[in-house]
Amino acid sequence: MTQQELANQVGVSRQSINAIEMGKFLPSIELSLKLARFFEVKVEELFYLGWEE
């Protein structure tokens, strides 16, 4: 799947998906939930806080 295809599925720009992947952008709660729903995983499986281990 390309960044553009994913962006289309969740309603954001390809640049937003790229920025999330590069760690330069923190998605909103709404976008986080859309991504988790799309991938059929929990939000915690997609994102983590750097201080947690």
- Segments making up each domain of the chain, as ranges: 3-40
Average pLDDT over residues 5-9: 98
pTM for this predicted structure: 0.84
The answer to whether the beta carbons of residues 8 and 17 sit under 8 Å apart is no
Which residue stretches of 1-53 are H helix?
Answer: 3-10, 14-21, 29-39, 43-46
Q: Which amino acid is at 31?
A: L
pLDDT tens digits, 23-39: 899 999 999 999 999 99
At 47, the pLDDT band (50, 70, 90 cuts) reads confident
At 51, the pLDDT band (50, 70, 90 cuts) reads low
Would you call 26 helix, strand, or coil by DSSP? coil
